[in-house]
Amino acid sequence: MSIDTEIADNILEFIAAYTEEHPMPPSMREIAEGCFIAYGTVIRYLDIMEVMGCVQRESGKARSVSILKRKTEMDQMIDHNDHTK
């Protein structure tokens, strides 16, 4: 379950900034466009970050992503996982 921390950080920063400016979370396509990554990459990263406890989504509900852990907490989790391999 290896991920690029720069991409993960960009996704979290985009979600946080978007939710500050809008009354609802961004769609997966908006995250992809805002972070300049593929839609499939957004899905894969959110799946991994959800397992890590960094984000939460409601199954079958659009625009349901929310941040549970800050970027620094996620970075520490990733660094710890990389060192335990």
pLDDT digits (tens, 9 = 90+) for 43-79: 999 999 999 999 999 999 999 999 997 655 665 665 6
Tell me, what's the pLDDT at 63? Answer: 95
Please state, for a pLDDT cut of 90, what percent of the chain lies above it: 71
Mean pLDDT of the chain: 87
85 pLDDT more than 60: no
Domains plus CATH for the chain?
Answer: 5-83 (1.10.10.10)
Cβ count within 10 A of residue 9? 16
Pairing of β 55-56 and β 66-67: antiparallel
pTM recorded for the entire structure: 0.81
